[in-house]
Amino acid sequence: MYNPFSLDGKVILVTGASSGIGRGIAIECSKMGAKIILCARDLKRLTETYNLLEGQHHIIMQADLSRQSDIENLVKDLPSINGIVHCAGILEIIPVKYINSNVFDKIFNINTLAPILLTAQTVKLRKLLSNSSIVFISSISGISIANVGEAVYSASKGAISGFVKAAALELANRNIRVNSINPYQVPSNLLNKFTEVFTEVNMESTLEKIPLKRVGKPEDIAYGAIYLLSNASSWVTGSNLVIDGGFTLL
Q: How far is the CB of 206 from other proteins (least distance, A)?
A: 14
Binding residue for other proteins (CB under 8 A) from 69, 200, 205, 213?
Answer: 200
Taking the complex as a whole, the smallest distance from the CB of residue 102 to other proteins amounts, in Å, to 11
Task: List the one residue from 196, 202, 217, 234 that touches other proteins (CB under 8 A).
Answer: 196
Q: Least distance from C-beta 154 to other proteins, angstroms?
A: 15
- Binders of other proteins in range 79-108 (CB under 8 A): 93-95, 97-98
Q: How far is the CB of 21 from other proteins (least distance, A)?
A: 24
Strand order in the sheet with 59-62: 59-62, 35-40, 11-15, 81-86, 128-137, 177-183, 240-243
Q: How far apart are CA 63 and CA 38, in angstroms?
A: 10
The nearest distance, CB 95 to other proteins, in angstroms, is 5
**197 part of the interface to other proteins, by CB under 8 A:** yes
Shortest Å distance, C-beta 98 to other proteins? 4
Give the contacts of 47 (CB within 8 A, at least 6 positions apart): 60
Binding mask 141-180 for other proteins (x = CB under 8 A): -------xx-------------------------------
For other proteins (CB under 8 A), the number of binding residues is: 13
Q: Which is nearer to other proteins, 51 or 100 (CB)?
A: 100
- Judged by CB under 8 A, the residue of 52, 76, 120, 198 near other proteins is 198
- Give the binding site for other proteins (CB under 8 A): 93-95, 97-98, 148-149, 195-200
